[in-house]
Amino acid sequence: MAATHSFDVLVLGGGAAGLMCAIETGKRGQRTAVLEHADRLGKKILISGGGRCNFTNIHCGSENFLSSNPHFAKSALARYTPQDFIALVEKYRIPYHEKTLGQLFCDHSSRDILAMLEEECRIAGVRIFLNTTVQQVRRSGQFVVESSGAEFHAPALVVATGGLSIPKIGATSFGYDLARQFGLKIREPRPGLVPFVLSPEDQSRYSDLAGVSLDVMASVDGQAFREKMLVTHRGLSGPAILQISSYWESKKRLQIDLAPETNLTSAFLHANTPRSDANLRSEFRKILPSRFADRWLELHPPGSWTNPALANFEKHLHNWTITPAGTEGFEKAEVTAGGVDTDELSAKTMESRKVPGLYFIGEVVDVTGQLGGFNFQWAWASGAAAGRAI
């Protein structure tokens, strides 16, 4: 017969959000268990930020998140701030630095962050059950969670099983399935922070430039990001592209300004530089990587040397419009956009409005951060909001 365990709180998923929630409930004396189907906790924390975990962003505000309700994240973010997490990191003397744009990274390794969370769980008396795959959840007064070897009972159930990105390290649709089982609405999950795949035609034009990176402004529907773009073997990546991908929907056009705030033809219009292919190439190479500059001129030469033709040519450079064939999908996406509809949850506690005692936190909720430490800040903040409310 399967062993039966009784707790006050069951947290499904031992990632960033689940661990933070368990620490908070454990600290308040709630008997808490984390059930994790992998053989260790926090695998995504370990691979995050290129192994250095971009654990927060000091400029975090609700404008850094996508959600069908842009106000939903405000309350949790205000009550657990980047400073709160930094205080914890400093308490453990974990060395860190600001890389760029408020993004804080570990100096050494993401392992420091995971070790800190594991130690906080130990201090708070949280029980961890690894290799525990949940087979069924029922509610009969309490929540009953059946796994392969055991049955768990608790009055509060926290779903922190994350999104669909990177299935090979354990992502599952479990959280969405459970939400549906209890009658909660889901906003269709889609890959976010993901590279684009170009059409075969565009691939034949640009893919041999793989590895070339340039400063661009990428936009979709009025949302714009100015950062680096990287040409890949199948399409486009780099921070500007990853950022805009979260706002892109299938078949939408993407606008790319290849030389923001620069006028590459002004030398011909306002100075007396002779109008020739060689001079144009030399102006381009001052601003763009030479391989990209040469390819652009080869594919899109100015129609003529007249002023209107040069103006058109300049305009095209600042408004390169492409329709990506798609994205690299959940296999390569850093996050999953969409998820449990925020209308279903209390913004203060993350508790389901329909099912008392059932909570959803972290990436499984329809709140998605931009690139730069915002997704972890949401995981910490939503985890703390639920953990303090239970």
Strand 358-360 versus strand 156-159 pairing type: parallel
Report d(CA 373, CA 27) in Å as an integer. 25
Instruction: Select the residue interacting with ligand FAD from 143, 284, 296, 376 (CB under 6 A).
Output: 376
**How many angstroms separate the Cα of 252 from the Cα of each of 69, 132, 175, 247, 327?**
22, 41, 29, 10, 12
Who's near 308: CB < 8 A, 6+ residues apart?
none
Residue 335 contacts ligand FAD per CB under 6 A: yes
346 DSSP β-pair partners = none
Instruction: Select the residue interacting with ligand FAD from 30, 32, 54, 342 (CB under 6 A).
Output: 54
Instruction: Select the residue interacting with ligand FAD from 22, 33, 37, 215 (CB under 6 A).
Output: 37
Number of Cβ atoms within 10 Å of the Cβ of 250: 10
Residue 82 contacts ligand FAD per CB under 6 A: no
On whether the CB atoms of residues 171 and 189 are closer than 8 A, the answer is no
Instruction: Select the residue interacting with ligand FAD from 2, 47, 78, 101 (CB under 6 A).
Output: 47
Report d(CA 84, CA 91) in Å as an integer. 11
Nearer to ligand FAD, 37 or 318 (CB): 37
Instruction: Select the residue interacting with ligand FAD from 128, 160, 218, 264 (CB under 6 A).
Output: 160
Residue 44 contacts ligand FAD per CB under 6 A: yes
Nearer to ligand FAD, 82 or 235 (CB): 82
**Measured over all CA atoms, what is the biggest interatomic distance in the chain, rounded to whole angstroms?**
89
**Minimal distance, residue 35 CB to ligand FAD, in Å:** 6
Helix axes 111-123, 16-27, angle to 10 degrees: 30
Residue 21 contacts ligand FAD per CB under 6 A: no
Residue 133 contacts ligand FAD per CB under 6 A: yes
**Minimal distance, residue 42 CB to ligand FAD, in Å:** 6
On whether the CB atoms of residues 32 and 126 are closer than 8 A, the answer is yes
Residue 237 contacts ligand FAD per CB under 6 A: no
Instruction: Select the residue interacting with ligand FAD from 9, 22, 35, 358 (CB under 6 A).
Output: 35
User: Which positions from 301 through 330 interact with ligand FAD, judged by CB under 6 A?
Assistant: none
Nearer to ligand FAD, 132 or 265 (CB): 132
- Region from 40-48, 77-85, 197-205, 216-224 binding ligand FAD, contact rule CB under 6 A: 40-48
Q: Closest CB to ligand FAD belongs to which residue?
A: 15
List the one residue out of 134, 99, 153, 88 whose CA is nearest residue 377: 88
Rounded to 5 degrees, what are φ and ψ at 122? -60, -45
**Burial group, residue 123, by CB count within 10 angstroms (0-12, 13-18, 19+):** exposed
- Region from 158-166, 262-270, 271-279, 282-290 binding ligand FAD, contact rule CB under 6 A: 158-166
Nearer to ligand FAD, 191 or 302 (CB): 191
Report d(CA 218, CA 370) in Å as an integer. 14
Report d(CA 207, CA 200) in Å as an integer. 10
Nearer to ligand FAD, 129 or 320 (CB): 129
User: Which positions from 166 through 225 interact with ligand FAD, judged by CB under 6 A?
Assistant: 166, 170, 172, 174
Give the total residue count for the chain: 390
Instruction: Select the residue interacting with ligand FAD from 10, 25, 30, 36 (CB under 6 A).
Output: 36
Instruction: Select the residue interacting with ligand FAD from 25, 30, 32, 48 (CB under 6 A).
Output: 48
Q: What angle do CA 148, 152, 156 make, to 5 degrees?
A: 135
Instruction: Select the residue interacting with ligand FAD from 18, 191, 239, 339 (CB under 6 A).
Output: 18
**Interface positions with ligand FAD (CB under 6 A):** 12-18, 35-38, 43-44, 47-49, 53-54, 133-134, 160-162, 165-166, 170, 172, 174, 334-335, 362-363, 373-376, 379
